[in-house]
Structure 1
Amino acid sequence: MELEFAYSIQRSVKRRKLTITVERDRSVVVHAPVGCSDEQIEKVVTAKRQWIYEKIGHPQKYQDLPHAPGKELVSGESALYLGRQYRIEIVNSGFKEIRFEQRFLIPDSPLDKRAEALRNWYIQRAKEKIVPRVLQHARQLGVNVSKVKIADNRYRWGSCTMNDNVNFNWRLIKAPMFVIDYVIVHELAHLLEANHTPSFWNIVRAQAPTMDKAKNWLKENGQILEQSI
């Protein structure tokens, strides 16, 4: 049977079973063990096609923005941080790194250097604020986390591995804390329940009672987090 969607394959020597994910941009990715042939993968994908169609059509998957935002890192614009927009000021005061004083004070430099500086600032804040929250929620859930990593997974907010490592997209630092907490709990709950069963969602809701609000926020604002400002 001919499929109406394309999919990519990522093989890993550490992977023991085949899984399929539909990313937020509607791309379909098959994660497979090294020894899994293309024919075996195609058979599984075909068998799961109805589930994949449903995921591709899910309302939380991205729609293209109707117009490019057109924002630049210049004085008078604003940038997101923890769910709020803060004014940007380009300054010539001699310091080399971004300062945050209820507004972004960004050293004057070429636009690409300003974007790089803001990205680095976000990543550092994500390490400072997200990692401790992960450890706190892990203690409350009674799960052991081997390593917490702030990553650059553009189409995934968080992920966990078979080795009990958890990864979180640095762009989450732009979202409100209740959204960050929901994503953290979502990934940690997978250490207790691998699949999205009713039991899994009960765990998440108990630890993150604003789960529905957070999911709606990501649905409405998720694509904005991926913009540079």
Structure 2
Amino acid sequence: MDFTYTIKRSAKRRKLTITVERDRSIIVHAPENTTDEKIEQVLKSKRQWIYEKIGHPQKYQDLPHAPGKEFVSGESALYLGRQYRIEVVNDGIEEVQFVQRFLIPAKYVKKDEALREWYIGKAKEKIVPRVKDYAHQLGVEVAMVKIVDNRYRWGSCTVNNNVNFNWRLIKAPMFVIDYVIVHELAHLIEANHTPRFWNIVRAQTPTMEKAKTWLKDNGQLLEEKI
């Protein structure tokens, strides 16, 4: 095999699946009793698909921090698909505030961490209720919704019907967030990316293609601190 991969076995898993993460790492999720030989056989049969995924424009390494871009007044940060000005405030506020611009208390030595916590709070506030609404529309049962720090996936679902979403999604437009939500929930109906799967997603999010294009063109921006 001319590529490396990581195997994750689980007693709860019934099917073997292959995932190519956005950092191009290859993860094999397999039932507990699957042999290494069987896994290698499946990987060989999926070789062309794996190469296509590795070469996909949405797969990339971390961007270096933009030169000269720091947490100072006059810079900007993404929120729901738009750039908003950052203003560092010396006194009068204790936490990050958003009033058509980001107000960040100067007391925070690591202002990126302060903004990160604000993003996570907003992701919980805005994404979690939408997941529940879409789950109701699709008729699926979701055990738990989590906002997580998963650098190389926008969303994921587990065999226990838990769904996870990357907090960085809150930087994207709402139509993109909705697409990622529906994408993960549709996997609770159809595990693989079959025509039926895409029909489910498209029916719930008519702007699916627009959202996929936005992520392809702008997804890497979501990884930046600002």
Q: Give 1:225's aligned residue.
A: 222
- CA shift for structure 1 position 122: 0.3
Residue deviations 1:123-169, cap 9 Å, x none?
Answer: 00000000011111111111111111111111000111111111110
* Structure 1 counterpart of 2:23: 25
SS at match of 1:31: strand
Letter in 2 for 1:57: G
Secondary structure of 2:168's aligned partner = helix
Higher mean C-alpha deviation, range 120-129 or range 11-20? 11-20
What residue is the counterpart of 1:128 in the other structure? 125
Asked if the contact 1:96–1:107 (Cα under 8 Å) also holds between the matched residues in 2, the reply is: yes
2:55 to 43, 57, 68: 57
1:12 aligned residue? 10
Of 136-145 and 169-178, the range deviating more from structure 2: 136-145
Aligned with 2:93 (options 92, 95, 107): 95
DSSP-derived class of the 1:74 partner: coil
CA contact (8 A) 1:73 1:111 kept: no
Q: 2:43 aligns with which of 39, 42, 45?
A: 45
Equivalent positions of 1:142-153 (< 5 A) are: 142-153=139-150
2: CA distance, partners of 1:225 / 1:62 = 13
Q: Secondary structure at the match of 1:149?
A: strand
Local SS of the residue matching 2:163:
strand
- Tell me how far apart the structure 1 counterparts of residues 219 and 70 of structure 2 sit (CA, whole Å): 19
Structure 1 Cα separation of the partners of residues 112 and 157 of structure 2: 29
Change (3 A) 1:90 1:64: closer
Give 2:56's aligned amino acid: H
Structure 1 counterpart of 2:84: 86
In structure 2, the residue corresponding to 1:194 is in which secondary structure?
coil
Residue segments in structure 1 that go unaligned for 5+ positions in a row: none
Percent identity over the alignment is: 74
Please report how far the alpha carbon of residue 11 of structure 1 lies from its aligned counterpart in structure 2 after TM superposition.
2.6
Say if 2:22 and 2:152, in contact at 8 Å, map to a contact too. Answer: yes
Contact 2:5–2:28 (CA under 8 A) maintained in structure 1: yes
Deviations 1:171-226 (A, max 9, x none): 00000000000000111111111111111111111100000000000000101101
1:178 to 155, 167, 175: 175
Gaps of 5+ in 2: none
TM-score, length of structure 2 as denominator length: 0.93
Q: How many residues in Structure 1 have an aligned counterpart in Structure 2?
A: 225
Residue matched to 1:205: 202
Shift of 1:94: 3.9
Residues 171 and 226, structure 1, Cα contact 8 Å, conserved in 2: yes
